[in-house]
């Protein structure tokens, strides 16, 4: 473990979306100078960074200059190409490291890793051809969910295969790329746990989040999730074991399915995000230390902050046109409004969020 970064040090962020923007704001709060690398000129994180590089992830010259300019680099999304991560990681400290990224950006590697720890997931099979898809369907049954191994997000790159559906069409719909087939999980609810691991191995976790999606996009998070203390404890253990097994440094989020079997709650891991997560946005006002501060603390080699919750929390995403409600939200006492500064609105696009914290 190297010595903690001093205020004034330069922190690099790969990716320029709202997660990068909120990471940059948290880093600035601690006196760090943030350098954002992103391919899109109108990246929300550029607005709040000390330094910006606008270049493709394949631009080795720009990447090298970026990496050399920072004392530590991190990323705000898991689809950073492997070669980009390797190049940056060879020139500066990259955290979370390459192992976490390689394992968690491929759904098959990810589920195999989780299952290898003895943690429950949906049943799954790798699918590389239509023959393999037929074989996997014969084993896992229908309905089943076909997902691309890489690059999926917000339900993109997925197809549900119901009884009677043409499996070949589903494979074509996701582009015929390497895939994973998962048994359909008849979950009661969707939960997530956001946790952080420091360079010296300390772990902190927030309370479980209850998540509601609209068209596969997170719409609302509520905390507490209203599950049993045993389920809260199990989620914490799951997150800690995953973080430890990866030698992880930084914030990660574990998306979970809650099943109720014979009246007992059971958790299944759906996916792991090697980054700050939308379901953790409530921590900005709703916890003693936000997920963004925790991530910056961890990668800077600082001690972790307290994840204690300050009340009963509700976070709502402003998706698409909902952002037009900003004047009313700005006038609402106790509504903590966040706007991401995106120029273009599109249906389902994450334009901002609003958090309300009520005394517990
Ligand atoms: N095996 C499954 N069974 C039932 N629903 C699923 C399954 N996998 C995914 N889903 C649903 O689809 C959503 C998106 O899937 P997920 O694997 O989390 O991909 P993404 O990267 O798009 O978030 C989940 O939040 C859940 O609602
Ligand atoms: Mg997901």
Show pLDDT as tens, one digit a residue, over the chain (360 residues).
Answer: 579 999 999 999 999 999 999 999 999 999 999 999 999 999 999 999 999 999 999 999 999 999 999 999 999 999 999 999 999 999 999 999 988 999 999 999 999 999 999 999 999 999 999 999 999 999 999 999 999 999 998 889 999 999 999 999 999 999 999 999 999 999 999 999 999 999 999 999 999 999 999 999 999 999 999 999 999 999 999 999 999 999 999 999 999 999 999 999 999 999 999 999 999 999 999 999 999 999 999 999 999 999 999 999 999 999 999 999 999 999 999 999 999 999 999 999 999 999 999 998
Angle of CA points 21, 26, 31, to nearest 5°: 120
Rg, the chain, Cα only: 20
Widest pairwise Cα distance in the chain? 61
On whether the CB atoms of residues 72 and 5 are closer than 8 A, the answer is: yes
On whether the CB atoms of residues 314 and 222 are closer than 8 A, the answer is: yes
Nearest atom in ligand 1 to 107's CA: 17
| Ramachandran class of 69: left when φ > 0, alpha when ψ lies in -120 to 50, beta otherwise | alpha
The separation between the first and the last C-alpha atoms of the chain, rounded to the nearest angstrom, is 38
Ligand 2 centre to CA of 216 (Å) is: 8
The CB of 270 under 6 Å from ligand 1? The reply is yes
Angle of CA points 157, 162, 166, to nearest 5°: 75
Ligand nearest to the Cα of 104, by number: 1
Mutation to probe ligand 1, out of 122, 259, 270, 278 (largest number of atoms < 8 A from CB): 270
Ligand 1 centre to CA of 155 (Å) is: 7
Mutation to probe ligand 1, out of 79, 151, 155 (largest number of atoms < 8 A from CB): 155
225: tokens are: 């999730």
Cα separation, 86 vs 207, whole angstroms: 34
Cα separation, 33 vs 216, whole angstroms: 35
The CB of 76 under 6 Å from ligand 1? The reply is no
Ligand 1 centre to CA of 297 (Å) is: 30
The CB of 184 under 6 Å from ligand 1? The reply is yes
The CB of 78 under 6 Å from ligand 1? The reply is no
The CB of 182 under 6 Å from ligand 1? The reply is yes
The CB of 245 under 6 Å from ligand 1? The reply is no
């Amino acid at each position: 473990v190297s010595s903690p970064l001093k205020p004034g040090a330069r922190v690099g962020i790969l990716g320029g979306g709202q997660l990068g923007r909120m990471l940059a704001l948290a880093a600035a709060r601690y006196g760090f100078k943030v350098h954002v690398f992103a391919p899109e000129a109108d990246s929300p994180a550029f607005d709040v960074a000390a330094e910006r590089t606008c270049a493709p992830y394949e631009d080795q010259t720009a990447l090298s200059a970026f990496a050399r300019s920072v004392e530590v680099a991190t990323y705000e999304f898991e689809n950073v190409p492997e070669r980009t991560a390797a190049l940056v990681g060879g020139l500066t400290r990259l955290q979370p490291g390459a192992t976490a990224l390689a394992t968690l950006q491929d759904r098959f590697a990810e589920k195999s890793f989780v299952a290898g720890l003895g943690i429950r997931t949906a049943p799954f099979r790798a699918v590389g051809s239509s023959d393999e898809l037929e074989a996997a369907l014969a084993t896992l049954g229908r309905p089943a969910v076909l997902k691309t191994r890489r690059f999926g997000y917000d339900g993109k790159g997925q197809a549900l295969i119901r009884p009677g559906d043409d499996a070949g069409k589903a494979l074509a719909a996701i582009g015929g790329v390497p895939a994973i087939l998962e048994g359909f999980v008849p979950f009661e609810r969707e939960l997530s746990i956001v946790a952080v691991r420091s360079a010296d191995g300390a772990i902190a976790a927030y309370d479980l989040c209850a998540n509601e999606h609209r068209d596969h996009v997170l719409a609302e998070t509520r905390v507490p999730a209203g599950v049993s203390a045993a389920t809260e404890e199990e989620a914490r253990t799951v997150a800690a074991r995953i973080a430890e097994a990866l030698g992880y440094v930084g914030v990660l989020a574990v998306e979970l399915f809650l099943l109720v079997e014979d009246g007992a709650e059971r958790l299944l891991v759906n996916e792991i995000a090697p980054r700050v997560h939308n379901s953790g946005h409530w921590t900005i006002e709703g916890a003693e230390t936000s997920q963004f501060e925790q991530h910056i603390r961890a990668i800077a080699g600082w001690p972790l902050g307290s994840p204690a919750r300050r009340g009963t929390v509700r976070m709502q995403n402003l998706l698409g046109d909902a952002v037009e409600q900003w004047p009313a939200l700005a006038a609402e006492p106790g509504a903590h409004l966040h706007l991401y500064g995106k120029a273009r609105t599109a249906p389902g696009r994450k334009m901002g969020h609003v958090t309300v914290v009520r005394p517990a």
